[in-house]
Amino acid sequence: MENIGEVLRKWTSNPNFQKKYEEAIHKVLEDEDVRSFLDAHSISEVQLRKSYAKLREFVKEKNARKQGLEVKNPDMEPVLVFHQQFIDVAYKPTQQYLLTQQEKQVQSRIHAFNMPKQIQQAAFEDFEITTERAGAFEKLVTFSNQFCQHPHQFHKGTYVVGNFGVGKTYLLGALANRLAQKGYHSTLVHVPSWSVEMKQAIADNSVMEKIDSIKTAPILMLDDIGAETNTAWFRDEVLGVVLQHRMLQELPTFFTSNFTMNELEEHFEITKNGEESLKAKRLMERVRFLADEVKMHGENRRMPGK
């Protein structure tokens, strides 16, 4: 029986094999990345011959990705390295993978509770500015610029008031995205849903825990305040507690509402007795401390055909 060395010797000395082998080497050496790699390093003939398998692996892996063939780890791509006098293939994350990871990290800074998914795509750059909407837009852009410059100073938020569908929530989403890109976390809460959730939280004793996570948010955006079914409990024990904390800690807070601040005060009065109206006033003092009121008008962007 022939030993394996003998077989190999015969095989490799076969002119047909030699030809095929040379052709294969040639093909690998034709690859532009291989060429520029070889140009950039001084590699001897012996080293090159010994590294041929690596070069071949590199070209094979690279082309498989280019042709969309199935590969072991599509998030990584091959690169040639010159390591301890030999050529080797290393794998590094693809640009696409890095971008996706970065995008995921940005999105993870936005803590949204019952907010429409669309806000993920909202961007200042895509915000259609009309004269009626420019005021609110400028306020939020100015906030993001100033906040990013001096994140430890107090910056007053904005209370955006406007009709249904003018783009208030979209604008909050755009601000949250801009802040997330700069590395800051924000929390967006749809107030009507939140009030229902808090009521349910009484049953499982998680009210305080839920309030804490909202009140300490580095940047808080309360969407659609005034659209919740008001109760004295939600006003005083939930909103009151959250806004009191944010006022004392000077934490940036934003609001959107269909109500002006004065109308919101009426909404919070519930019944027109003196004590109620004092409580509503006290709550509104916190709102006014935290945010400037800006009107936003315009067409209802939710209407079909508009």
Q: Which residues pair with 221 in a beta bridge?
A: 188, 254
Burial pattern 259-273, b for ≥16 Cβ within 10 A else e, equals bebeebbebbbeeee
Residues making contact with ligand ADP (CB under 6 A): 118, 126-128, 162, 164-170, 301-302
Tell the smallest beta-carbon distance from residue 258 to ligand ADP (Å): 8
Which does residue 301 bind out of ligand ADP, Mg ion, none, counting CB within 5 to 8 angstroms by kind? Answer: ligand ADP
- Residue 78 or residue 157: which is nearer to Mg ion going by CB? 157
Residue 118 to residues 86, 121, 122, 138, 180: CA-CA distances in angstroms? 51, 6, 7, 21, 16
**In this structure, what token pair is assigned to residue 267?**
């909404």
Residues within window 196-225 making contact with Mg ion, judged by CB under 5 A: none
- Residue 28 or residue 115: which is nearer to ligand ADP going by CB? 115
- Residue 158 or residue 169: which is nearer to Mg ion going by CB? 169
Is residue 144 packed enough to be buried (19+ CB in 10 Å), middle (13-18) or exposed (0-12)? Answer: buried
Residues 54 and 50: their CA atoms lie apart, in Å, by: 9
Which does residue 281 bind out of Mg ion, ligand ADP, none, counting CB within 5 to 8 angstroms by kind? Answer: none
Task: Give phi and psi for 7, each to the nearest 5.
Answer: -60, -50
- Residue 139 or residue 168: which is nearer to ligand ADP going by CB? 168
* Full DSSP string of 118-129: GGGG--GGG---
Tell the smallest beta-carbon distance from residue 200 to Mg ion (Å): 22
Please give the size of the binding site for Mg ion, defined by CB under 5 A.
Answer: 1
Residue number with the smallest Cβ distance to ligand ADP = 167
Which does residue 166 bind out of ligand ADP, Mg ion, none, counting CB within 5 to 8 angstroms by kind? Answer: ligand ADP
Q: Which of 51, 144, 169, 257 binds Mg ion (CB under 5 A)?
A: 169
**In this structure, what token pair is assigned to residue 51?**
């590294």
Residue number with the smallest Cβ distance to Mg ion = 169
Residues 281 and 105: their CA atoms lie apart, in Å, by: 40
Tell the smallest beta-carbon distance from residue 190 to Mg ion (Å): 8
Tell the smallest beta-carbon distance from residue 127 to ligand ADP (Å): 4
**Count of other CB atoms within 10 angstroms of residue 211:** 18
- Residue 91 or residue 164: which is nearer to ligand ADP going by CB? 164
Tell the smallest beta-carbon distance from residue 183 to ligand ADP (Å): 24
Which does residue 302 bind out of ligand ADP, Mg ion, none, counting CB within 5 to 8 angstroms by kind? Answer: ligand ADP
**Count of other CB atoms within 10 angstroms of residue 249:** 10
Which does residue 275 bind out of Mg ion, ligand ADP, none, counting CB within 5 to 8 angstroms by kind? Answer: none
- Residue 51 or residue 177: which is nearer to ligand ADP going by CB? 177
Task: Give phi and psi for 84, each to the nearest 5.
Answer: 45, 55
Residues 94 and 73: their CA atoms lie apart, in Å, by: 10
Largest CA distance in the chain: 109
Tell the smallest beta-carbon distance from residue 164 to ligand ADP (Å): 5
